Amino acid sequence: MNVTSGHLICPVCSLALTQKERSLSCEQNHSYDQAKQGYWNLLLVQRKRSKDPGDNPQMVAARTHFLDQHYYQPLADKISASVQLELTNNSNSRLLDMGCGEGYYTAQVEKALSNTNVEIIGLDISKHAVKAACRRSKSIHWLVASGAQMPVPEQSQDLLLVMFSRLMPAAFAKVVKPDGLLLLAWPAQEHLLELRQSIYKEIKISEYDPTTELAEQFSCEKVDTLRFEFSLQSEQDIQALLDMTPHSQRINDDSMAVLLASAPLHLTFHVNLGFFRRL
């Protein structure tokens, strides 16, 4: 699917980008070729904090394996239903999934919106994640780009979806239309509590609440909490969950061996879903 002229902007000069065949360019002749997998790389070298930012191939493979077992399907269903309710009667809407990763949630949202005219962008700073996301859908516009400086026009998005990514209030507010929706997911207090208890001597209970940080640009309509119990059925699934989180870097070999041998591993899913309206 071609990019509509002006729906993306040049990361160098912020002028509108227009697609011609497999290339995007602006009036100042900055040009970006489409990767063979179908994504657009709009991440400037000077905006990288490392040579290969974001999730590495191992983390992407782990997340793909884990999510494809549908342990988190209730969250995907909740998000898809919420997005559908928000955008179904809003013609020619635009949705951007910031920090889309390998596209699990983005693709399910697209299916929920299949009978609507909604343009969907999936954006992540990891090229490995975006390459994987391309396999989930050919009609979503997949971008390698910075969430701090998203290459879309100001106040252009009807809905911004942010799943477990860093909070950037100014960047979020810049791209969301007035009265548009920011749908934000973040871990609640008991999320994967059993896993954390098996790794750390002391468990820090998070009191994190993004409402205050967002208050200047967004009003909080509601925060829904999704909680359920689930069980990892295999050593491979336990390993995948560890590899897609920072926990794998903090667990010692003995604890890892015990954990991998404990299947089925019973865990708590506990996530907040916040609905924030752009002021």
Within the chain, which residues score under 50 in pLDDT? none
pLDDT of 51 reads 81
Q: Is 13 annotated as a binding residue?
A: yes
pLDDT of 6 reads 96
129-147 pLDDT, tens digit per residue, is: 999 999 999 999 999 999 9
Q: Is 26 annotated as a binding residue?
A: yes
CA-angle at 33, arms to 134 and 26, nearest 5°: 120
pLDDT of 50 reads 78
pLDDT of 89 reads 85
Domains and CATH numbers, the chain: 1-34 (no CATH), 37-278 (3.40.50.150)
Q: Is 10 annotated as a binding residue?
A: yes
Q: Lay out the sheet containing 23-25: strands in order across.
A: 18-20, 23-25, 31-33
pLDDT of 204 reads 82
Q: Is 72 annotated as a binding residue?
A: yes
pLDDT of 188 reads 96
pLDDT of 91 reads 82
pLDDT of 103 reads 98
77-109 pLDDT, tens digit per residue, is: 999 999 999 998 888 999 999 999 999 999 999
pLDDT of 253 reads 86
pLDDT of 207 reads 84
Q: Is 103 annotated as a binding residue?
A: yes
pTM over 0.85: yes
Q: Which residue, chain included where needed, has tokens 């596209």? A: 103
pLDDT of 120 reads 98
Q: Is 266 annotated as a binding residue?
A: no
CA-based max dimension of the chain: 59
